[in-house]
Amino acid sequence: MAKELNSICDPNTYESVFNEHAKNLKRFLYFKFNDLSAAEDVLQETFIKLWDSCKEVTLEKVKSYLYTIANNKFLNIKKHEKVIRAYEEYPVSDRTNESPEFLIIEEEFLEKIEKAIAGLPEKQREVFLLSRIEKMKYSQIAEQLSISKIAVEKRMHNALKSMRSKIGNI
């Protein structure tokens, strides 16, 4: 009975496994690929694979199972990319330092950002999170907090400035 309840084949258990591990697994994958959409794809494939083999995986092993599957998928994709690249007539370098789109965000750097955000004064952090996580416009934030739009911009500006100084040399 207890065994059945804990089976990953049970949709509720499956969902709670997802809720527990998905965010960290996505983060893990992001730092491997340096690409958000690739991380998202592999995340989904990994959990689909977990469902397909839910009978073989116990709840105790599920974490290492997920990371192993995800890592294998990552390696396969990279291997495939290498094959493609070998056949390309003019190999193109996919990363340059000049174009910021290809800037690599290392895990340490993201941790610095997270720390910097967490360390912002309450009022600045509130504006920062409303803007970036809740995707609100400055005018909307101004209304919600009953302050002027200029005041919102000031907090945001200062938030970025203080994050810049905390992050230090890059």
Which amino acid is located at 144 in the chain? Q
CA atoms of 7 and 49, how far apart (whole Å)? 15
Among 13, 38, 40, 145, which residue sits at the site for other proteins (rule: CB under 8 A)? 40
Does the footprint of other proteins cover residue 160 (CB under 8 A)? yes
Q: Of 31 and 85, which CB lies nearer to other proteins in the complex structure?
A: 31
* Overall size of the chain counted in residues: 170
Decide if residue 146 touches other proteins (CB under 8 A): no
What gap in Å lies between CA 136 and CA 170, rounded to an integer? 29
Does position 18 interact with other proteins (CB under 8 A)? The reply is yes
Q: Give the ranges where the chain is alpha helix by DSSP (H).
A: 2-5, 11-33, 36-52, 62-87, 107-118, 122-132, 138-145, 149-167
Q: Binding residues for other proteins, per CB under 8 A?
A: 15, 18-19, 22-23, 26-27, 30, 36, 40, 43-44, 47-48, 51-52, 100, 103, 105, 109-110, 113-114, 117, 131-138, 140, 143-144, 150, 152-154, 156-157, 160-161, 163-164, 167, 169-170
